[in-house]
Structure 1
Amino acid sequence: MRAYFLKLHQKIICFSKRPFVLNVLTLVTGTAASQAITMAFMPLITRIYGPEEYGIQGVFITVAGVMATIAALTYPAAIILPKTDGDAMGIVHLSICVSIAMSLFAAVLLFICGDEILSFLRAKEILAFMYLIPVAMVVSVFGNVTGQWLIRKKAFLLTAKVTALQSLTINFFKVGLGVVNSTATTLIVINVFGGVLSAGMMAFGYRKIHVLEKRPIEKPKRQLNISSIAKKYYDFPLLRAPQVFINAISHNLPVLMFSMYFGPASVGFYLIAFSVLGAPSIIISGSVMQVFYPRINEAIQRGEDVRKLIIKATLGLTLAGAPAFLIVIFAGPVIFEFILGSEWRMAGAYAQWLSVWIFFQYINKPAVAAIPALRIQRGLLVYEIFSAFAKVLAIFIGYVIYNSDIVAVAIFSVFGAVMYAVLILWVVALSSDVNTARKI
């Protein structure tokens, strides 16, 4: 028996020293610290800001976030793929140029008919903040570009440090400024500032690393042709951008629908429940996705067993996350009331059902990360259309037929979980075809 445990211990040590595992652990540490900081501040923040303030902030983040998904037409996601830094830097330049153009277009559109657009979206609560939406779009792209470049250069330790420091700074401002002015305006401005802070710290940190190591920042070895790079990665704006946009809309439909039928307070309940449940997903699966994306790309190039990699990563996330989600399913209202205050008990009821959906969203990250590398984004676009339709149908049934926010959340979560399960099985099946084709 002793020999068995010694052998097991040696296997664990050997496994933990693998580059993939070390990179995941590095990102998990930073993201876990970030989420721990957020969770530590949350009981204070929820007692400073009420559900309505959180709800108005949530509506702004939803509208700005949906627009941000297509601000650069998803070109930043392609930064990982080129073999040379010259082509990757070309994608960086292309992403920034596209984002500026798209943000200016959004600003003009809001100036001409912003009132009508927000009225149509039932989001008039954020009318006073609508010109911050184009700013949030540009800030989001800069942060995304910087983050993707760090992933490309495998600067995972820097990413982890920035994640934790940004969380500490933002939550400190939410509490400090909230004591003076506990309004939705404070929350919205701090969130936009948080994006600027994160992008700035990542860029500064990366440059500092090269100065300390006396290495120059990589420069292209040839004249970049941004037009040719845009054409080479045409599937990102043509296929991935619509898919991401549709996904963002379907993902954020509950926020807009809750705002429309039940008001900002209900949005606040939903967002608090979602943010608490998203903690394990962000801590583990987000870190896995950042490391898994370049890893799966390398595996395809080397002819490795891609299907096996996806299955192992998915099963690992399942085993790691199941206990936490089960606890929320059985005791959500009691936990939320005890930690956040009595006025947030309803958020715990939302969380009981949302756990089902978010759990499958949590375990599908390896499959999602593999999609660009497998170049199956056309199929993902079709999937997102059907997924969005299913979620709209779920919300329609809950609101219109049952007139109940809890029923709407329950049906939405079940439909969403089924669609995520279908996505995982689809990617695994296609990755098997890739392996077969390579053997032939």
Structure 2
Amino acid sequence: MSINPYKNYYSFKKWSFHFLKRPFIHNIILITSGTAIAQIITIFFSPLIARIYGANAYGVQGIFMSIANTMATIAAMTYPTAIVLPKHDADALAIVRLSFYISILTSGITFFIIFYFKSEILYLLDSQNISNYIYFVPVFMLISTASVISNQWFIRKKFFSLTAKVAIFQASLVSIIKTCVGIVYPSAIVLIITNILSGMVNVLIAMLNFHKVPIDTPKNELLPSNAWCLAKRHSDFLLYRAPQVLLNAISQSLPVMLLATFFGATAVGHYTLTLSVLAMPINLIGGSVSQVFYPRINEAIFRGEDVKSLIIKATLGLALIGVLPFAVIIFAGPSLFAFIFGSEWKTAGIYGQWLGVWLFFQYINKPAVTAIAPLQLQGGLLIYEIFSTGTKILALYIGYAVFGSDVTAIALFSILGVIAYAWLISWVIFHSGKNIKVYSKNE
């Protein structure tokens, strides 16, 4: 009996075609492609930008961004994350308005707090070297929230092509500005302003394209929903998710703040560059999967599908894709960083060897973290974050007080972070098989 090789080839080709045409896979490929191009642009400019500005400027930028990002995470009390959840666009649009109003209020309050207590805040955070830039924090909060709101709306509407285009345009514009302006004036303020500009570009493009996204609710049903009722319905975001996100942001910023306090801005510069490089596969693949997986897991819950299987498959898929690039950094970080960015950045590669392990688990936990809001596990997530943040503070302090070494502090921080992320993934998978309450339209 003869075997027709062409039959096997065409069968595989047909299977591949249908696999790639599946909406979930197609959307991931679409976003990943746009993010990949954006990352390639960033990688292309990174060695030049690192040489232009140096570790100290990166360090000052890192200190500012750690404070600004921490405040931005709770500027709208995490309500933008709820935009994807309602069945109907009328409710989702009401959450958009609610989120924006809250962000205006919190940004304004932050400005007045900084205005009256600037010196005390800088002294408390040991961050006097950002004294000239701290008033940019409320600006960053407002723009960052508007950017998140627009992204969540387009994720809800599965308008992923626009997300991909925005990522490419942002990366190109920001990289060119950093390079061109840096040649003339290589200062931390340039790095800070370009980060703010990146969010502004995102918001502007979203506003110009908002009318292109179809609204699936009939126009006569697009009446203003009761914002107070929606705020109460999704109160777990305010009560549990906002404190958890704040604690997570603090834990993410801990190395920056403590490295600045214990070892100076140059150590922060090494950490900031390392984090920006290692975050690329997280943003490229993990971030793309999160954006597509969020509405998908929400739909699966409404339809009564096997949610646990979806989370496990997505997690294992991310692990298989990401193990190689992270392994390269873990085993060859110092020599790679010294070769690409210059000998000044070899210490950043040493940081990368330890941070790579931690960030790999941060990368593969994206499906689990994305599923937490639809699974209504945000109370448990807050408890997890309290313990996780506490152990990370302890790790960094031991690294400084006992060993007096920035590398040891980073190593202990990463090891405990790996343990925490592994537990989080297991916890979400365990709870994903339970019955979930689904809100009805009139609830």
Q: TM-score, normalised by structure 1?
A: 0.95
Deviation at 1:5, TM superposition (A): 5.3
370-379 or 123-132: bigger deviation? 123-132
Q: In the alignment, what sits opposite 2:72?
A: 68
Change (3 A) 1:336 1:60: same
Q: Is the 1:296–1:306 contact (alpha carbons within 8 Å) kept by the matching residues of 2?
A: yes
Q: What is the distance in 2 between the residues matched to 1:201 and 1:223?
A: 25
Q: Is the 1:86–1:219 contact (alpha carbons within 8 Å) kept by the matching residues of 2?
A: no
Pairing 1:288-307 to 2, within 5 Å after superposition: 288-307=289-308
Q: In the alignment, what sits opposite 2:441?
A: none
Deviations along 1:223-246, whole A, 9 cap, x unmatched? 332112111111111110000000
Q: Is the 1:31–1:282 contact (alpha carbons within 8 Å) kept by the matching residues of 2?
A: yes
Could you tell me which runs of 5 or more consecutive residues in structure 1 were left unpaired when the two chains were aligned: none
Q: Is the 1:23–1:291 contact (alpha carbons within 8 Å) kept by the matching residues of 2?
A: yes
Q: In the alignment, what sits opposite 1:286?
A: 287
Q: 2:32 aligns with which of 20, 28, 34?
A: 28
Deviation at 1:10, TM superposition (A): 3.2
3-state SS of paired residue (2:404):
coil
Pairing 1:138-149 to 2, within 5 Å after superposition: 138-149=142-153
Deviation at 1:4, TM superposition (A): 5.0
Q: In the alignment, what sits opposite 1:186?
A: 190
Q: In the alignment, what sits opposite 1:254?
A: 255
3-state SS of paired residue (1:185):
helix
Q: What is the distance in 2 between the residues matched to 1:367 and 1:277?
A: 20
Q: Is the 1:103–1:138 contact (alpha carbons within 8 Å) kept by the matching residues of 2?
A: yes
Amino acid at match of 2:33: T
Q: TM-score, normalised by structure 2?
A: 0.95
3-state SS of paired residue (1:348):
helix
Change (3 A) 1:17 1:177: same
Q: In the alignment, what sits opposite 2:242?
A: 241
Pairing 1:23-422 to 2, within 5 Å after superposition: 23-207=27-211, 209=212, 221-422=222-423
Q: What is the distance in 2 between the residues matched to 1:325 and 1:227?
A: 45
Q: What is the distance in 2 between the residues matched to 1:133 and 1:190?
A: 13
Q: What is the distance in 1 between the residues matched to 2:157 and 2:229?
A: 23
Q: Is the 1:306–1:431 contact (alpha carbons within 8 Å) kept by the matching residues of 2?
A: yes
State the number of aligned residues: 433
Amino acid at match of 1:115: S
Q: What is the distance in 1 between the residues matched to 2:382 and 2:210?
A: 34
Deviations along 1:31-50, whole A, 9 cap, x unmatched? 11111111000011011101
Deviations along 1:98-154, whole A, 9 cap, x unmatched? 001001110111111121112111111111111110010000110000000111111
Q: Is the 2:94–2:224 contact (alpha carbons within 8 Å) kept by the matching residues of 1?
A: no
Deviation at 1:394, TM superposition (A): 1.0
Q: Is the 1:89–1:220 contact (alpha carbons within 8 Å) kept by the matching residues of 2?
A: no
3-state SS of paired residue (1:432):
coil
Amino acid at match of 1:38: T
After superposition, the CA RMSD in angstroms is 1.9
Q: What is the distance in 1 between the residues matched to 2:225 and 2:119?
A: 41
1:17 matches 2:21? yes
Q: What is the distance in 2 between the residues matched to 1:412 and 1:224?
A: 45
Deviation at 1:217, TM superposition (A): 11
Change (3 A) 1:217 1:329: farther
Q: Is the 2:89–2:217 contact (alpha carbons within 8 Å) kept by the matching residues of 1?
A: no
Deviation at 1:407, TM superposition (A): 0.6
Q: Is the 2:89–2:216 contact (alpha carbons within 8 Å) kept by the matching residues of 1?
A: no
Q: What is the distance in 1 between the residues matched to 2:365 and 2:216?
A: 38
Q: What is the distance in 1 between the residues matched to 2:394 and 2:13?
A: 50
Question: Sequence identity, in percent?
Answer: 47
Q: What is the distance in 2 between the residues matched to 1:135 and 1:191?
A: 11
Could you tell me which runs of 5 or more consecutive residues in structure 2 were left unpaired when the two chains were aligned: 439-443
